[in-house]
A and B are shown apart, each in its own frame.
Chain A
Amino acid sequence: MMEETYEIMTGNEACTHAAIAAGMRFFAGYPITPATEIAELSSALLPKAGGKFMQMEDELASIAAVIGASCAGAKAMTATSGPGYSLMQENLGYAVVAEVPLVIAYAMRQGPCQGVATLPAQGDIMQVRWGVHGDHPVIAVAPDSVSEVYTETIRAFNLAETYRTPVVILTDAMLAHMSERIRIPRRSEYECVDRKRPTCAPADYKPFADDGTGIPPMASFGDGYRWYCSGLIHDETGFPVADDPQLITDDIKRLMGKVDNHIADIESYEEYQTAGADLLVVSIGLLSRSVKDAVDQARRQGIKVGLFRPVTVWPFPENRMAALSRQVRQIFVCEMNEGQLYHVVRESAGTTPVQQITQNNGKMIAAETILAAIKGEN
């Protein structure tokens, strides 16, 4: 029997190791608490793996360099937190429209603005969904442990390559910095997806033509295909189109469809003690482990409560949310902000009442606080 590999590492370290395991060969970033260690470790590990690390002049440049490298064929990532992610929005929008695969590791800190740089929060759930101007698809995964940071980072690269779109790994200052003992998955346990390449003659290549899957094959600069890549709404050759309502409609619909038409493949969530539950707590990320603790305590007291944890925050698993809403008599949304996921849950909750359990002070919400809320004691 093959020996298992266990290691103690932080969320940021797990993210970096997993990224390299997933094939990351380019990282560009700018120092920011609490994501900096991903840049530090990448600078040390990437050259050993034959990859490239760059520290850029700011976050705009960081994601720009990542997009450039991805167009040249790299699996590429950057890492940041709220203030840096704000700066990345314009180029993130570019990656969406130009369909450039990339991954952003995003360790949330208490905000807004500079907020409290060292403390965890979940105040950027909506920024991740709507930070980019204009309608656009988004994939964001929110692991709950260092171990899941590892596996979801690999999945983030695979989703980015499969769907030619940016993918966000959403953690927080606590998960980024805390250490846990994790099992390193064997290479045979996970897949590493490479983007689909064109096989046609260079003269026939249309870089944004739908091949029937909704995801066009992507050439790399320098491999013989001469293609034009733009952030303007474009036709299948990549060139901008100013006044063609049908084409604009089709282009946006295809972009949205890359996620909307592949929900079954992209979406993931965890249910804990939901069988027979008549109360439900919805929570994401590390915080959901406090909720699990509260659920265990409540169950021991005879309270039939369960946890619904979207791993893909975006796309939000709304069908399962709606089904669970019909099962329970009361939903709680537990989050470290003033109420963001709350509004999303309400969209799927039908007539089931939805109550907030929030705390927005840089502290994780204690299981006891959650339990008291479930019992209606606060």
Chain B
Amino acid sequence: MPDNQHVFDRYLRQDKLPHIWCPGCGNGIVINALVHAIARTDVDPDTIVVVSGIGCSSRANGYTNFCALHTNHGRALPYATGVKMFNPKLKVIVVTGDGDCTSIGGNHFIHACRRNIDLTTIVFNNSNYGMTGGQFSPTTPSGSRTKTSVYGNIDTPFDICSLAEAAGATYVARSTVYHVNLLIRELAEAIEHPGFSVVEAVCDCPTLFGRLNKMGSGADMLLSYKEKAVVKQQAEKMDAAALKDKLIIGTFVERTDREEYTKQYASLIKRAKGGN
């Protein structure tokens, strides 16, 4: 396709639009950021495979015009691992949600981080299970109302980025659907990072989580991200009291000291064929 086409025409399946998401949902903004990020890299689109699980965010690869593997709930990462492991020339991107990735897929998530295989994982974090109607997820803030926490959520949420860092991911970043340019930059860095990368995209679910917690419209929720977000460099100069209820955005981890998994396996094949 000609390069002068708009990125949406190049990288979105126009015949599948409009999407199924609710008015005001942040998921579309994350896809927008993803295709712009891909356009910034020199990745051959025919080598891209977008793998997803189950949930609202996992429908994203139906709209992007690349190879797509829409898998079972929580399982996107191990499917993606098999794709990448067998053919390391592929650029494998995982689109997943907070429930898909950190609840039912939580074990796969920490092991993918540990393994450091070259996958780019985008976690659409909207703080609840949207597709099933707004139940609490592992990232729902304590005290929040959802369909299964009508008296206030007593669970303690995961910090996805801290979890990824502790488990060994070699690129970890967060942005929000308000901070789109930052999100695009982080996604482009993540795609080019030679190892397991995680980008948490904080996004709004005005129909469920927002409505149940009286957070206003989608636009209101986006503005709340503007107010809550503090970039990492600035946060480092603030004390705990000032950071209370703030959302730190930016790149938390970017390391290249651990060799990527498929590269290690290529060395292993050489050793095995060498007979030792």
Q: Which residues of A contact B (CB under 8 A)?
A: 25-26, 28, 44, 47-48, 50, 52, 54, 56-58, 60-62, 64-74, 76, 90-91, 94, 220-222, 224-232, 239-240
Determine if B87 and A222 form an interchain contact, defined as CB atoms under 8 angstroms apart. yes
Determine the chain B residues whose CB is within 8 A of the CB of A91 once the complex forms.
Answer: 71-72, 75
Determine if B82 and A69 form an interchain contact, defined as CB atoms under 8 angstroms apart. yes
Given contact pairs A61-B75, A61-B107, A69-B85, a sample of 8 additional A-B residue pairs in the complex whose CB atoms are under 8 Å apart: A47-B269, A50-B269, A56-B81, A64-B71, A68-B81, A68-B83, A73-B87, A221-B69
A73 CA to B49 CA in the complex, in Å? 13
Determine if B78 and A65 form an interchain contact, defined as CB atoms under 8 angstroms apart. yes
9 sample A-B contacts, Cβ–Cβ < 8 Å, listed by A number: A25-B86, A52-B86, A57-B111, A58-B107, A61-B108, A65-B81, A68-B82, A232-B70, A240-B62
User: What's the minimum C-beta distance from A136 to chain B, rounded to whole angstroms?
Assistant: 15
User: What's the minimum C-beta distance from B248 to chain A, rounded to whole angstroms?
Assistant: 29
Determine if B82 and A28 form an interchain contact, defined as CB atoms under 8 angstroms apart. yes
Contact A74-B68, Cβ < 8 Å, known A57-B108, A60-B78, A61-B111: no
Q: Is B16 at the interface (CB under 8 A from chain A)?
A: yes
User: What's the minimum C-beta distance from B57 to chain A, rounded to whole angstroms?
Assistant: 15
Task: Identify the interface centre among B65, B70, B71, B82: most chain A CB within 10 Å of its CB.
Answer: B82
Residue from B46, B61, B79 in contact with A65 in the complex, judged by beta carbons closer than 8 Å: B79
The 6 A-B residue pairs with the shortest CB-CB distance, nearest first, are A68-B82, A65-B82, A64-B78, A61-B78, A47-B272, A69-B86
Determine the chain B residues whose CB is within 8 A of the CB of A228 once the complex forms.
Answer: 61-62, 67-68, 70
A28 CA to B45 CA in the complex, in Å? 28
Residue from A25, A74, A76, A231 in contact with B71 in the complex, judged by beta carbons closer than 8 Å: A231
Q: Which B residue's beta carbon lies closest to that of A58?
A: B107
Contact A68-B67, Cβ < 8 Å, known A52-B85, A61-B111, A222-B49: no
Determine the chain A residues whose CB is within 8 A of the CB of B83 once the complex forms.
Answer: 68-69, 71-72, 221
Q: Which residues of B contact A (CB under 8 A)?
A: 16, 45-47, 49, 51, 61-62, 65-72, 75, 77-87, 89-90, 107-108, 111, 265, 268-269, 271-273
Residue from B67, B81, B86, B268 in contact with A227 in the complex, judged by beta carbons closer than 8 Å: B67
Contact A221-B49, Cβ < 8 Å, known A47-B268, A227-B68, A228-B61: yes
A66 CA to B221 CA in the complex, in Å? 41
Q: Is the interface of B mostly helix, strand, loop or mixed?
A: helix
Q: Is the interface of A mostly helix, strand, loop or mixed?
A: mixed
Determine if A222 and B46 form an interchain contact, defined as CB atoms under 8 angstroms apart. yes
Determine the chain A residues whose CB is within 8 A of the CB of B273 once the complex forms.
Answer: 47-48
Determine if B67 and A76 form an interchain contact, defined as CB atoms under 8 angstroms apart. no
Determine if B78 and A229 form an interchain contact, defined as CB atoms under 8 angstroms apart. no
Contact A94-B72, Cβ < 8 Å, known A68-B51, A73-B87, A222-B90: yes
User: What's the minimum C-beta distance from A365 to chain B, rounded to whole angstroms?
Assistant: 39
Determine the chain A residues whose CB is within 8 A of the CB of B72 once the complex forms.
Answer: 64, 90-91, 94, 231
User: What's the minimum C-beta distance from A71 to chain B, rounded to whole angstroms?
Assistant: 6
A67 CA to B265 CA in the complex, in Å? 19
Residue from B16, B46, B86 in contact with A72 in the complex, judged by beta carbons closer than 8 Å: B86
User: What's the minimum C-beta distance from B168 to chain A, rounded to whole angstroms?
Assistant: 13
Determine the chain B residues whose CB is within 8 A of the CB of A232 once the complex forms.
Answer: 70
Task: Identify the interface centre among A25, A52, A68, A225: most chain B CB within 10 Å of its CB.
Answer: A68
Determine the chain A residues whose CB is within 8 A of the CB of B111 once the complex forms.
Answer: 56-57, 61
User: What's the minimum C-beta distance from B43 to chain A, rounded to whole angstroms?
Assistant: 12
Determine if A221 and B87 form an interchain contact, defined as CB atoms under 8 angstroms apart. yes
Q: Which B residue's beta carbon lies closest to that of A239?
A: B62
Task: Identify the interface centre among A61, A67, A221: most chain B CB within 10 Å of its CB.
Answer: A221
User: What's the minimum C-beta distance from B161 to chain A, rounded to whole angstroms?
Assistant: 21
Q: Which B residue's beta carbon lies closest to that of A222?
A: B90
Determine the chain A residues whose CB is within 8 A of the CB of B265 once the complex forms.
Answer: 47, 52
Determine if B82 and A67 form an interchain contact, defined as CB atoms under 8 angstroms apart. yes
Q: Which A residue's beta carbon lies closest to that of B269?
A: A47
User: What's the minimum C-beta distance from B255 to chain A, rounded to whole angstroms?
Assistant: 22
Q: Which A residue's beta carbon lies closest to that of B275?
A: A48
Determine if B69 and A71 form an interchain contact, defined as CB atoms under 8 angstroms apart. yes
Determine if B86 and A60 form an interchain contact, defined as CB atoms under 8 angstroms apart. no
Determine if A222 and B47 form an interchain contact, defined as CB atoms under 8 angstroms apart. yes
A40 CA to B16 CA in the complex, in Å? 45
A226 CA to B1 CA in the complex, in Å? 14
A91 CA to B53 CA in the complex, in Å? 12
Residue from B16, B67, B70, B81 in contact with A230 in the complex, judged by beta carbons closer than 8 Å: B70
Determine if A73 and B78 form an interchain contact, defined as CB atoms under 8 angstroms apart. no
Q: Which A residue's beta carbon lies closest to that of B75?
A: A64
Determine the chain A residues whose CB is within 8 A of the CB of B70 once the complex forms.
Answer: 228-232
Determine if A54 and B85 form an interchain contact, defined as CB atoms under 8 angstroms apart. yes
User: What's the minimum C-beta distance from B150 to chain A, rounded to whole angstroms?
Assistant: 29
Task: Identify the interface centre among A52, A66, A94, A232: most chain B CB within 10 Å of its CB.
Answer: A52
